[in-house]
Structure 1
Amino acid sequence: MAAESQGAASEDFAERQARNRRLSTLIVFLFICLFLLIGSAVDYLYFDAFTPSALKLPVATLTAFTMATLISLMSYYQGSALVLGSVGAEALDLKLPEHRELRNIVTEMALASGSPMPKIYVVFDPAPNAFATGRDEFHSAICVTTGLLALCSREETQGVIAHEVAHIRNNDILLMTLVSVLLGGIALLSDWASRSFYSSRTRDRAVGKSALLVVPAFLLILLSPLISRLLAMAVSRQREYLADATGVEFTRNPLGLAKALEKLRDAAMPFQGASRGTAHLFFVNPLRRRVDDREGHLADLLSTHPPIARRIMLLYQMTGAGR
């Protein structure tokens, strides 16, 4: 009976991983399409490409495609290193007792989940938070702030680590890491394109072109960072619920995770090292925006994380003591 249960669980994880791999491919494809659309808009507005009178080589489109391909490859192979570097993550110092305890907790959760041991990093920041990154369970890392280690008990820290190990086990980390780096690429390309639009030369070239094409092209350039962030938020929010539930499977203790969420909610401390491009990676939103505490379709669009209060309520329901 136990063997059957274990087999079913393995099949469930395998199904989630396969689904997330497919979604990762789709998201990368959508981001590449967005890069190409921005490049095409730049070619049309700035270089007179795609016009009947001047069939020029679409330099910006080709550049955008090359850029998207390189960023996608870099995201896959070096994305976790870039993310860890951006937040100032450091390796554990095993001379410190709290770091040794963290290593023990991660080891326990790796064993409970049947996953290889991830690398462990800390960020010296008082804001309590954590995240996982990497491209698969064999190339993964968990990063925890010193604020979380100071605030949470061992039981609560175990709940947080189980949640992050669940992201690794479900293969969420590849998708989230890819999105983080691609968001940065879209922002850079859009910023360059929008700045160029304000040059007199570009405005002169836009004169005489169809407003039906000029206006959408400019809006695409202007709004592409928002569109890309909405894509990131769409793939992040529901994954937090799943990681909570999967983490509880590893610890058999929903109360530990619920108490950790309560403490992080009450701390309400933003993490200075985070950005809008990496916010979706974290255990709770490090930017601490009010929209994260709301529910509904608008909140689903604008927030990377589900409301903490709802996550806590669902965890207490697992204990049979609903709130």
Structure 2
Amino acid sequence: MSALDFVKIASRNKRRTFFLVLFLVLMLYFIGRLIDYASGAGGFFTFLALLIALLQSLISYYWGDKIVLASVGARKPNLSDYEERQFVNVVEELSIAAGLPTPKCYIMDDPSPNAFATGRDPKHASVCATTGLLKLLNREELEGVIGHELSHIKNRDVLTMTMVAILVGAIVIIADILRFQLYVGGARRRRDEKDSGGELLVILILFLIVLLASIIGKLMALAISRAREYMADAGSVAITRNPLALASALEKIAIYSRPMQVSDAVSHLFISDPKKRGLSEKDSLWANLWSTHPPIWKRIAILKQMAGLSA
């Protein structure tokens, strides 16, 4: 595999993301039509679910970066510290190479090596690295990691995942509405002995359908998250032209990482899953389906193939 094959990898994962998002849109549409047809609500439930999910996602979109940075205790870099100053310099240099505005830099005081990017667009972006990462990596490896995070910014992955959250959130909200109707309908039926329970049975069937759809929707969202990680790896190579540096960085991160005390809600942002550890631990297919990140050993193998080496 030539070094230029990062373009093919990025294109493949863009197509994968597009079709997964399209699947979510169609699934929400057909579920909404099914619920509205069965209930005679004339589109009310679908509109309500989308509205609630949209409001939740707008809050996350516009204020999510501040919430995330505060939740991990991020601070501004100390420029008198060599490692933190080098981090800022690398971010500035690679931002120029990537054609991006320089994002704000933050430090997370944690010995586990990791990093993440956040922000709704390139003009409002931030990159955060742990102290453990800065101590562990050499400059080339750090460039590989920063290139990965800048690729997330350049690809507007926060916008993509916000859109996905709206779609999946709407399906989950519809399931919550139906569960509430089941509860209310059950109470009404207990009061009315003449009720045949037919209406309640219809709601129960619809609830089970939507519950299954919400599970599928979450799996689709996780698949999109994994695809964006592959894209960001390829994007890092596009910026640095050094796949082995990122591969080496990921190897060190996997070897020296420890589970981090961060919320599950922000785990998908990190370059490596902060809840996992171990390079040699190859999870089962089932575990990988529920993971926000692809297996790190697989990412390393692809990067080595980009460099023309066997995995």
The amino acid of 2:269's aligned partner reads L
CA positional deviation for 1:233: 1.2
Aligned to 2:133: 148
State the distance in 2 between where 1:35 and 1:73 align. Answer: 21
Partner of 2:199: helix, strand, or coil?
A: coil
The amino acid of 1:230's aligned partner reads L
Aligned to 2:300: 312
State the distance in 2 between where 1:181 and 1:93 align. Answer: 38
Distance of aligned partners of 1:147 and 1:66 in 2 relative to their CA distance in 1, 3 Å threshold: same
Q: Are 1:98 and 2:88 an aligned pair?
A: no
Q: Give CA deviations for 1:200-248 in whole Å, capped at 9, x if unaligned.
A: 627748933263x333333256456533421221212222222212212
State the distance in 1 between where 2:169 and 2:214 align. Answer: 9
Partner of 1:138: helix, strand, or coil?
A: helix
Aligned to 1:253: 242
Q: Give CA deviations for 1:266-313 in whole Å, capped at 9, x if unaligned.
A: 1242222130x33322211222289x83486x5663332222112112
Give structure 2 stretches of 5+ with no counterpart: none
The amino acid of 2:259's aligned partner reads P
Task: Summarize the alignment of residues 62-101 of structure 1 with structure 2, pairs less than 5 Å apart.
Answer: 62-101=47-86
Aligned to 1:266: 255
CA positional deviation for 1:165: 0.9
The amino acid of 1:258's aligned partner reads A
Distance of aligned partners of 1:257 and 1:40 in 2 relative to their CA distance in 1, 3 Å threshold: same
Q: Are 1:231 and 2:217 an aligned pair?
A: no
1:159 to 126, 130, 144: 144
State the distance in 2 between where 1:92 and 1:206 align. Answer: 67
Distance of aligned partners of 1:303 and 1:190 in 2 relative to their CA distance in 1, 3 Å threshold: same
Q: Are 1:112 and 2:102 an aligned pair?
A: no
Distance of aligned partners of 1:145 and 1:186 in 2 relative to their CA distance in 1, 3 Å threshold: farther
Give structure 1 stretches of 5+ with no counterpart: 1-7
The amino acid of 1:308's aligned partner reads I
2:187 to 201, 211, 214: 201
Q: Give CA deviations for 1:97-136 in whole Å, capped at 9, x if unaligned.
A: 3221211111111112111111222222233221222222
Distance of aligned partners of 1:269 and 1:60 in 2 relative to their CA distance in 1, 3 Å threshold: same
State the distance in 2 between where 1:108 and 1:190 align. Answer: 47
TM-score, reference length from structure 2? 0.74
The amino acid of 1:89's aligned partner reads A
Distance of aligned partners of 1:220 and 1:306 in 2 relative to their CA distance in 1, 3 Å threshold: same
Partner of 2:229: helix, strand, or coil?
A: helix
Q: Give CA deviations for 1:15-59 in whole Å, capped at 9, x if unaligned.
A: 97xx69x949x8499479759958996xx9xxxx955xxx67987
| Contact 2:76–2:105 (8 Å) recurs in 1 | yes
CA positional deviation for 1:148: 1.8
Task: Summarize the alignment of residues 272-291 of structure 1 with structure 2, pairs less than 5 Å apart.
Answer: 272-275=261-264, 277-288=265-276
Runs of 4+ in 1 over 6 A off after TM superposition: 38-41, 55-59, 181-189
CA positional deviation for 1:321: 3.2
The amino acid of 1:150's aligned partner reads K
Distance of aligned partners of 1:220 and 1:127 in 2 relative to their CA distance in 1, 3 Å threshold: farther
Q: Give CA deviations for 1:57-102 in whole Å, capped at 9, x if unaligned.
A: 9876554232123234334433333333343333333343322121
| Contact 2:57–2:162 (8 Å) recurs in 1 | no
The amino acid of 2:305's aligned partner reads Q
| Contact 2:164–2:221 (8 Å) recurs in 1 | yes
Flag the structure with more relative contact order, 1 or 2, with Cα contacts below 8 A and sequence separation at least 6. 2
The amino acid of 1:207's aligned partner reads G
| Contact 1:159–1:260 (8 Å) recurs in 2 | yes
The amino acid of 1:271's aligned partner reads M
| Contact 1:35–1:186 (8 Å) recurs in 2 | no
| Contact 2:105–2:128 (8 Å) recurs in 1 | yes
The amino acid of 1:201's aligned partner reads A
Distance of aligned partners of 1:195 and 1:156 in 2 relative to their CA distance in 1, 3 Å threshold: farther
Aligned to 1:5: none
The amino acid of 1:266's aligned partner reads I
| Contact 1:135–1:174 (8 Å) recurs in 2 | yes
Root mean square deviation, CA, Å = 4.1
Aligned to 1:3: none
Q: Are 1:128 and 2:118 an aligned pair?
A: no
Partner of 1:135: helix, strand, or coil?
A: coil
